[in-house]
Amino acid sequence: MTGRYVIHLPVRAPDLARAKMLGRTAGRSLGFLAVVELGGITVSAEDDQCVRHWVFCDRQLDGGRRCVLRADHLTPCTARLPGR
């Protein structure tokens, strides 16, 4: 056993796009906490939880930081949100 635990927090959303949006919002709201792994945030249908959809890109960038954009972004990766 690794000594780590994961919190599963079920939240209902009417569709996949809104579920991803809520996942990004929750992740960014808690992202200041060192224990929150934004790249690990996924969403799934309630009745098919084995099929998960990534919320953040999380690609490794220079300097050890990770991309904070949504998983399916078309723009270049960045470690900071535009305007922040």
Show me where the domains of the chain are located.
1-84
pLDDT at 4: 85
User: Does residue 42 sit in helix, strand or coil?
Assistant: strand
What's the pLDDT tens digit per position in 19-78?
Answer: 999 999 999 899 889 888 888 899 999 999 999 999 999 899 988 888 989 999 999 999
pLDDT at 20: 94
Residue 76 per-residue DSSP state: P
pLDDT at 84: 60
CA distance 54 to 28: 14
- Indicate if the pLDDT at residue 1 is higher than 90: no
Burial class (CB in 10 A: 0-12, 13-18, 19+), 55: buried
- Indicate if the pLDDT at residue 12 is higher than 70: yes
